[in-house]
Amino acid sequence: MIDLTTYRLVHIVGLAVTMLAIGALTMHARAGAENPPASQGARKAATMAHGLGLVLMLVGGFGGLARLGAGWPTWVIIKMGVWVLLGGLPVLIKRKPAQATAFFWITAALVVIAGASAAFKPFA
């Protein structure tokens, strides 16, 4: 049986991989590196890492939630909203590369919201 600590680790590794990927995607877009084939490969690698990170975050998050036996509290609903927004970011970054730096910092703000939800469990 997988314990809470292991699920937390999976969750945080997923978060780290997702953040690395969004960092790469935003800076790639900012550099305007859309044309050369090598740069397309870099974007593809970052997009795949983004997907993997999101899955790990979800597995670790819901596994941990099950171990906590907390049901569906508001702090989890907030985190799910953040997760969905993080999932949509690669499309937004590709469509609006001029806003890449703004997306970078919006992502940081989303992590503050999700992290604070886990730490303080508001409206528990």
Binding site for ligand HEM (CB under 6 A): 8, 11-12, 15, 57-58, 61-62, 64-65, 68, 76, 79-80, 82-83, 86, 110-111, 114-115, 118
82 close to 108: Cβ distance less than 8 angstroms: no
Q: Which is nearer to ligand HEM, 40 or 123 (CB)?
A: 123
Q: Which is nearer to ligand HEM, 21 or 114 (CB)?
A: 114
Q: Which is nearer to ligand HEM, 39 or 73 (CB)?
A: 73
C-alpha span between 31 and 25 (Å, rounded)? 10
From the CB of 64, what's the least distance to ligand HEM, in Å? 3
Residue 123 CB partners (closer than 8 Å, separation 6+): 73, 74, 75
Residue 109 CB partners (closer than 8 Å, separation 6+): none
Residue nearest to ligand HEM (CB): 61
From the CB of 31, what's the least distance to ligand HEM, in Å? 25
From the CB of 22, what's the least distance to ligand HEM, in Å? 10
Q: Which two three-digit tokens encode residue 6? A: 């292991």
Closest CA to 122 of 70, 74, 81: 74
